[in-house]
């Protein structure tokens, strides 16, 4: 199944977001990450959780915190995760060559983000080396793009998306830093090409996601689902407590 189009008759797709650091499954309270422990106090095994999650979703979105923080991706774990699942990998790519390193793990696609990529030139270089790229546009609280490169930083998201699509990028991931999704912006981005929603997307927003014509969303699984053994997504329209 292509991750650039909707599955016939199914509506938007949903990827399960998992974070990993030093071999541990991590969860965030919105400010900091901490390891996930089960009711017995033991660390939840990332591979066990991934096995439980994979059948319930349309793929995994793996955030490698060690890659993002120190440029040291956890290659062994990533290879295991990609063995049995369709993985998008976010390891904080800074330069074009690091994108290829991510794909070598077996990930289906690697995420290049305005928040970490050194330059627009590196996006063009990475695209020439591989088309298996998702371009993440991180949007600040003021509605402009959060980026290192001046070609992107402070510019409107639609303008940055257009420049990326001109390079050849076929999939945009919109990630708001605001606590709510700007669904009007999602509709604008999705009208031009395949667009996904990241950030704090919640299943209660399923109707808005469908109305926006986005391909799908990344649902970063909350701690209560990660602690359980099944990690089954909540019903549409419900918010996990």
**What domains sit in the chain, N to C, each tagged with a CATH number?**
14-227 (3.20.20.70)
Share of the chain above pLDDT 70, in %: 90
pLDDT at 194 exceeding the cut of 80: yes
For 128-139, write each residue's pLDDT tens digit.
Answer: 999 999 999 999
The pTM (predicted TM-score) of the whole model is: 0.90
Is residue 134 exposed (0-12), middle (13-18) or buried (19+ Cβ within 10 Å)? Answer: buried
Distances (CA, A) of 174 to 55, 138, 184, 222: 25, 6, 12, 20
Distance (Å, whole) CA 219 – CA 209: 12
pLDDT at 3 exceeding the cut of 60: no
């Amino acid at each position: 199944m292509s991750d650039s189009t909707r599955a016939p008759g199914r509506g938007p797709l949903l990827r399960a977001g998992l974070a990993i650091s030093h071999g541990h499954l991590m969860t965030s309270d919105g400010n900091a990450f901490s390891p996930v422990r089960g009711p017995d106090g033991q660390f939840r095994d990332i591979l066990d959780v991934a096995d439980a999650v994979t059948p319930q979703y349309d793929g995994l979105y793996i955030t490698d915190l060690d890659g993002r923080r120190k440029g040291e991706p956890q290659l062994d774990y990533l290879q295991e995760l990609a063995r049995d699942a369709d993985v998008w990998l976010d390891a904080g790519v800074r330069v074009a060559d690091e994108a290829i390193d991510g794909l070598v793990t077996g990930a289906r696609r690697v995420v290049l983000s305005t928040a970490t990529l050194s330059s627009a030139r590196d996006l063009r270089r990475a695209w020439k080396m591989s088309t298996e790229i998702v371009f993440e546009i991180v949007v600040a609280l003021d509605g402009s793009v959060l980026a290192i490169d001046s070609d992107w930083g402070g510019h409107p998201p639609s303008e940055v998306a257009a420049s990326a699509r001109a390079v050849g990028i076929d999939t945009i991931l919109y990630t708001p830093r605001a606590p709510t999704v700007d669904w009007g912006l999602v509709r604008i981005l999705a009208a031009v090409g395949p667009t996904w929603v990241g950030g704090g997307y919640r299943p209660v927003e399923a109707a808005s996601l469908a109305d926006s014509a986005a391909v799908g969303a990344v649902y970063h699984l909350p701690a209560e689902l990660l602690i359980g053994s099944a990690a089954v997504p909540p019903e549409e329209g419900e918010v996990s407590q």
